[in-house]
Chains A and B, each alone.
Chain A
């Protein structure tokens, strides 16, 4: 199918349906640090934050060595009520208290963590939460990132540079060849050469760099890739076909090419920043089922949602469908959407079963085709620098 976009007053054709492009009137949320949602506290007075000694100094809490983070520049909204300010601080404290008590390996099974995720993650602790959920500190080998950076440029270096500029037009610090985004991907691709680069990687890595110092972002990225995403970028892309199909199924008539794009960018550029971060929070906790869950919810929300999903971004390249600024009437709020998504009765087992089934189906059909010109790349080749 094709996205036919014509002129200013656009309609989109998906298969044989016409969708009118809605131009939502919400103000854009560009470049803003991820704000945690202003969920009203639902915990009553039973939950007590553990504000016992949470003392840690910079050295023990964060890795040393090369860094350079960047983040969205705008400050917080100043119109928050005293109550929501207090709630925000309480969430910061609860997270800081949870890190030392729940080991990263347990975090994804921990109910308290899940509860905190649903309440919202303050931007000040978000990358630490992601470090924790992906257990990236365990993976981080001291000095490796710096060494990888010294390796010869990967073949797609110039392409990364170009994509960095196009994907983050408002973040000039991410554009340069020496900048953190190009460096991060150069390091990653020289470590894991069997990844087939596409601009989705730039989206994902760039987004991490808006919240985390460079080396932390690298290890979160590496962990996310290993745990969830590598198969999407492998030379044989069966996995993304599968998840995209599941996703399309959930959304019924949406085109698999678009859904593939959504998955391979992990929704960057397709969701508002706030919503995106919350999707990632859940994704890192729940894995792929969080994404599918979200889709199930979208279906549940019905036609309105589908319409929003099909609003292309317009000026940006790629014309991704997006949920960026949904008309308020269509969706309750980003927060509520996610809470609802989390509660959608969608058994992970069902998804898993469906996945396996589809996997078998797709393998039968796709393995006949040789992967385009990349047949001699070894699978799972990781090359770490010698230490």
Chain B
């Protein structure tokens, strides 16, 4: 029997690290060399198929990275199941910003939120300022998923979203109503995210 799951995902990170490009690659498999910076936030959806049976639909909130939009972010990460915090491997300062975002999420977002740290612009490895070891070590310490991507070449982009989908609790659909028609809404139960997250932590390691 096929199952559809639906999760809210928010992208955070410093301006110009490639959040929107990452989403554009993931959703439309396109890339723009010159992209206007995002205002407020943009909303997109994309579905990942895990095996023949299970699909995960992401509701993606791609936030604006500029400092002046910072205060709008809580509106977007509210009730998110997962967050992708992006930095630019050629800008050490962007990892600092990513750390700030992660701290904020750990403090303010839903405690069971799945966070992935994502080093974008892997195609510019020649200008690398953030080593893989450094980022990976930090991610391990904080219990985050981590990987590097290139929105430009597409490398690693689908993988990170798929990895997140696998890490999300896939036992009870959080929105069965959107999957199959007319599930009785009274019986529609939210997922116990806490319980799931706890068992996830003890279980499989991050596979990205």
Chain B residue at minimum C-beta to C-beta distance from A95: B43
- The residue of chain A having its C-beta at the shortest distance from the C-beta of B174 within the complex is A86
Neighbouring A residues of B185 by C-beta, 8 Å: 41, 43-45
A376 to nearest B CB, angstroms? 40
- Given the known interface contacts A124-B61, A124-B75, A127-B40, the answer about A213 and B177 at a Cβ–Cβ threshold of 8 Å is no
Asked whether any CB of chain A lies closer than 8 Å to the CB of B190, the reply is yes
Q: Find chain A residues with CB under 8 A from B143 CB.
A: none
Nearest-neighbor residue (CB-CB) of A212 within chain B: B40
B14 is an interface residue with CB less than 8 A from chain A? no
User: Is the pair B36, A55 in contact by a Cβ cutoff of 8 Å?
Assistant: no
Q: Which of B24, B42, B178 is the one whose CB lies under 8 Å from A51?
A: B178
User: Which residue of A has the minimal Cβ distance to B20?
Assistant: A58
User: Are A54 and B39 interface neighbours, CB within 8 A?
Assistant: no
B68 touches A68 (CB 8 A): yes
Q: Is A49 on the interface with B (CB-CB < 8 A)?
A: yes
Interface membership of A85, Cβ < 8 A: yes
Residues B36 and A64 in contact, CB atoms below 8 Å apart: yes
The interface-forming segment of B94-102, B105-113, B130-138 is B105-113
Q: Which of B43, B64, B76, B190 has the most CB of A within 10 A?
A: B43
Given A56-B43, A61-B42, A90-B175 contact (CB < 8 Å)? yes
Query: What's the nearest-Cβ distance from chain B to residue A299, in Å?
Result: 34
Chain B residues touching A, range = 35 or more
A54 touches B45 (CB 8 A): yes
| A313-B185 Cα distance, complex, nearest whole Å | 42
Chain A residue contacts of B50, Cβ below 8 A: none
Q: Which residues of the other chain, B, contact A58 by a CB distance below 8 angstroms?
A: 20, 36, 38-39, 41-42, 62
Inter-subunit contact B39/A88 (CB<8 Å): no
- Given the known interface contacts A44-B185, A78-B110, A81-B190, the answer about A90 and B177 at a Cβ–Cβ threshold of 8 Å is yes
**A67: nearest chain-B partner, CB-CB:** B39
B38 touches A45 (CB 8 A): no
Among candidates B41, B74, B76, B183, residue contacting A74 with C-beta atoms closer than 8 Å: B74
Instruction: Tell which of A44, A53, A56, A73 touches B71, judged by Cβ atoms closer than 8 Å.
Output: A73
A82-119 interface (Cβ within 8 A of B): 82-83, 85-86, 88-90, 92-93, 96
Which of B64, B74, B175 is A75 in contact with, Cβ under 8 Å? B74
* Identity of the chain B residue whose Cβ is nearest the Cβ of A215 in the assembled complex: B39
Our pick among B44, B69, B175 for the contact of A89 (Cβ within 8 Å) is B175
Q: Which residues of B contact A93 (CB under 8 A)?
A: 59, 178
Give CA–CA (A71, B191) in the complex, Å: 30
**Residue A33, interface by CB 8 Å:** yes
Q: Mark A28-70, 1 if CB is under 8 A from B, else 0.
A: 0000010000000101110011010111111101111001111
Which residue from chain A places its CB closest to the CB of B28 in the assembled complex? A55
Tally A residues with Cβ within 8 Å of B: 53
A83 CA to B193 CA in the complex, in Å? 11
User: Which residues of B in the span 68-85 have a Cβ within 8 Å of any Cβ on A?
Assistant: 68-69, 71-72, 74-79
B40 touches A88 (CB 8 A): no
A62-B40 in contact given A71-B71, A75-B74, A86-B174 (Cβ < 8 Å): yes
Contact check, A76 vs B36: say whether CB atoms are below 8 A apart. no
Q: Name B160-208 residues within 8 Å CB distance of A.
A: 174-175, 177-178, 181-186, 188-193
Contact B189 A82 (CB under 8 A): yes
- B-side contacts of A124, CB under 8 Å: 41, 61, 75-76, 78
Taking the nearest CB of chain B, how far is it from the CB of A318, in angstroms?
A: 25
Find the B residue at minimum CB distance from A62.
B39
For A350, the chain B residues whose CB sits under 8 A away are none
Known: A82-B192, A90-B177. A67 touches B68 (CB 8 A): yes
Whether the pair B79, A88 counts as a contact (CB closer than 8 A) is yes
Instruction: With CB as the reference atom, state the residue of chain B lying closest to A214.
Output: B68
Residues 39-61 of chain B, each 1 if its beta carbon lies under 8 Å from chain A, else 0 = 11111110000000000010101
Q: Are A82 and B40 in contact (CB under 8 A)?
A: no
| Residue of B with least CB distance to A88 | B79
Within 8 Å of chain B (Cβ to Cβ): is A166? no
| B3 part of interface (Cβ distance < 8 Å) | no
Q: Known contacts being A67-B68, A75-B78, A89-B79, is A96 close to B40, with CB within 8 Å?
A: no
Interfacial chain A residues near B36, Cβ < 8 Å: 58-59, 64
Which positions in B face A, CB cutoff 8 Å?
Answer: 6, 8, 20, 24, 27-28, 36, 38-45, 57, 59, 61-62, 64, 66, 68-69, 71-72, 74-79, 104, 107-111, 174-175, 177-178, 181-186, 188-193
A residues bordering B, Cβ < 8 Å?
A: 33, 41, 43-45, 48-49, 51, 53-59, 61-64, 67-76, 78, 80-83, 85-86, 88-90, 92-93, 96, 122-124, 126-127, 173, 211-213, 215-216
Q: Provide a sorted-by-A list of 11 A–B residue pairs whose CB atoms are within 8 angstroms.
A: A48-B177, A48-B181, A54-B43, A54-B45, A61-B42, A69-B69, A70-B68, A74-B108, A86-B174, A93-B59, A216-B40
